[in-house]
Amino acid sequence: MTDRYHRSEAAFAASKARLPGGVNSPVRALGSVGGVPFFAAFGKGPWITDIDGNRYVDYILSYGPHVLGHAHPAIVAAITDAATRGTAFGAPTEAETALAERVRALVPSMERMRFVSSGTEATMSAIRVARGFTGRDLVIKFDGCYHGHADGLLVRAGSGGLTFGNPDSAGVTAGAARDTLVADYNDLGDVERLMTAHPGAVACVILEPVVGNMGLVAPVPGFLEGLRTLCDRHGALLIFDEVMTGFRVHVGGAQALYGVKPDLTCLGKVIGGGLPVGAYGGRGEIMARIAPEGPVYQAGTLSGNPISMAAGIAALDELTKPGVFDRAVASTRTITAGLEAAAHEVGLEVKAPSVGTMFTPFFGPFAQGRAPRCLREVQATDIPRFKRWFHELRDRGVNVPPSNYEAWFVSTEHDAEAIRVTLDAAKAAFAAVAS
Ligand SMILES: *Cc1c(COP(=O)(O)O)cnc(C)c1O
């Protein structure tokens, strides 16, 4: 296989000289599975082609945004059209309200919102407004949930149950970590203990209502409802980080799927149609605290720029046409069932839990014979086997996340041909890692 990635090897050597790790976001360097990343040349629908001319069925989809596949004609047209009229003005445009109206229609809890340029900005700003609104400092997050790279969110669990978090990156101060408390996902008791230990001090609980960033982990029945109750009882805000799940697990996000209403919601990825957009929003009285209406400062030179807004509007309009989103959900079910069956045929136990258009295949052993419910249970699965399987898949033309702690994404364009190629490759790849 050495020749297969020949040009990518040269491109990687050149990029490493100028960019740390040769990349602009660490996961792209394949650090956890080893090997050389392919350099992308172009994409169309569910397919991506690298600079060596290899073609892949893509389950990364830029880590989530391309729910309509690569280079969807409606999005390309919207971007092209907007670009001819100017790319940013430092003045408001009607496109911002137009996208906000669409978001509000799909996610009614977002009565008012603000657009930013990344998911990181959305979560960072939502937490600031939660603190400004409640007058409290502490944030509760969950072990294994990712909310972007802001200091106070790059924090992992401390050693004791009720301790403050530890920095999860060099350069994060102990002070930033001290304001973040870390609980186990799907463990309401853990959250209750933290709330009780810090009475009147918790500003908000932030979580991925379906986790994608430890691999796909769904909330157990009652978990989201229980968090809603605990937050109400203790006067804390509930923030759903739906940067990944928004327009992905359901067109209305996880809050529509599970019927639990957060105070604030963060969006990103799909909302930009493949361009850099994030959003945060929620109850009107909370959002009224943001400058210039209120004292919580947050701003952005290119926030709400007309090209990004046009791409987002086109994406949401396309996705909400009758039958379009459901098609991607149906394909996801076909793929996950096919993967589990193919693994079974060669004597491997694989579970591929999915919600909407997201899933992750895990290799057993499984705690109590079921799919993982928290980070510790993900860590107990056979991750070394996943790493071998990754290479077997990629060399057979299936592009999947280079870590078992990631979700796989399906688009509306993953058709019968793409699925057939995927399952054929997966069967051979399972056989190759069965022993
Ligand atoms: C990707 C992601 C983020 C960060 O978004 P960026 O656009 O990469 O800054 C935040 N939260 C969740 C749940 C994500 O999946």
pTM, to two decimals: 0.97
Res 367: pLDDT: 87
Q: Ligand 1 centre from 203 Cα, in Å?
A: 21
The predicted-structure confidence for 86-140, as pLDDT tens digits, reads as follows 999 999 999 999 999 999 999 999 999 999 999 999 999 999 999 999 999 999 9
Give the residue from 297, 319, 341 where a domain finishes: 319
Single residue among 261, 287, 319 that ends a domain in this structure: 319
Q: Which atom of ligand 1 is nearest to the CA of 244?
A: 15
Model confidence band, residue 164 (pLDDT cutoffs 50, 70, 90): confident
Distance CA 203, CA 130 (A): 6
Non-local CB neighbours of 423 within 8 Å, separated by 6+ positions: 335, 338, 339, 342
Give yes or no: residues 290 and 242 share one domain.
yes
User: Residue 216 in contact with residue 378, Cβ under 8 Å?
Assistant: no
The verdict on 190 and 328 lying in the same domain is no
Nearest CA to ligand 1 atom 10: 147
Report the chain's C-alpha Rg in angstroms: 21
16 is in which domain, residue-wise? Answer: 6-71+323-433
Number of H helices, E strands in the chain: 14, 18
- Same domain? For 210 and 262 the reply is yes
Q: What is the mean pLDDT of residues 351-372?
A: 96
- In the set 241, 280, 405, 427, the catalytic residue is 241
Q: Which domain-ending residue is among 319, 340, 360?
A: 319
What pLDDT, in 10s, does the model give residues 192-229? 999 999 999 999 999 999 999 999 999 999 999 999 99
Q: At residue 387, does pLDDT exceed 80?
A: yes
Instruction: Supply the pLDDT for residue 316.
Output: 98
Shortest-distance Cα residue to atom 8 of ligand 1: 119
- Statement to judge: residues 311 and 360 lie in one domain: no
What is the DSSP code (8-state) at residue 272? G
What's the rounded Cα separation, in Å, for the pair 134 and 169?
A: 28
Report the CATH number at residue 141: 3.40.640.10
Give pLDDT tens digits for 280-298: 999 999 999 999 999 999 9
Tokens of 350: 């694989």
Question: Edge-to-edge, what's the strand order for the sheet holding 202-207?
Answer: 112-116, 278-282, 264-267, 237-241, 202-207, 138-142, 180-183
Are 195 and 179 contacting, i.e. CB atoms less than 8 angstroms apart? no
Would you say the CB of residue 338 lies under 6 angstroms from ligand 1?
A: no
Residue closest to 234 by CA, chosen among 190, 183, 192, 189: 192
| 58 closest CA partner among 429, 423, 410 | 410
Band of pLDDT at residue 157, cut at 50, 70 and 90? confident
Q: What is the atom index within ligand 1 of the atom nearest the CA of 119?
A: 5
- Report the separation in Å between the CA atom of 244 and the middle of ligand 1, taken as the mean of its atom positions: 7
Pair 37, 8: CB distance under 8 Å: yes
pLDDT digits (tens, 9 = 90+) for 166-183: 888 999 999 999 999 999
Same domain for 177 and 216, yes or no, is: yes
Catalytic residue flag (residue 269) = yes
Q: Are residues 160 and 228 in the same domain?
A: yes
Å from CA of 388 to ligand 1 middle = 27
> For this structure, is 241 an active site residue?
yes
Q: Are residues 350 and 286 in the same domain?
A: no
For the stretch 30-80, pLDDT in tens is 999 999 999 999 999 999 999 999 999 999 999 999 999 999 999 999 999
Residues 269 and 124 both lie in one domain: yes
- 157 and 229 belong to one structural domain: yes
**Residue 349 Cα, ligand 1 centroid: separation in angstroms?**
31
Q: 378 and 257, same structural domain?
A: no
Q: Is the CB of 401 under 6 A from ligand 1?
A: no
CATH label of the domain that carries residue 375: 3.90.1150.10
Total domain count for the chain? 2
Give the integer Cα–Cα distance in Å for 414 and 427. 18
- Evaluate if residue 3 carries a pLDDT over 90: no
Do 197 and 296 share a structural domain?
A: yes
Q: Which atom of ligand 1 is nearest to the CA of 276?
A: 7
311 and 328 both lie in a single domain: no
119 lines ligand 1 (CB under 6 A): yes
Residue 1 reports pLDDT greater than 90: no
User: Has residue 1 been placed in a domain?
Assistant: no
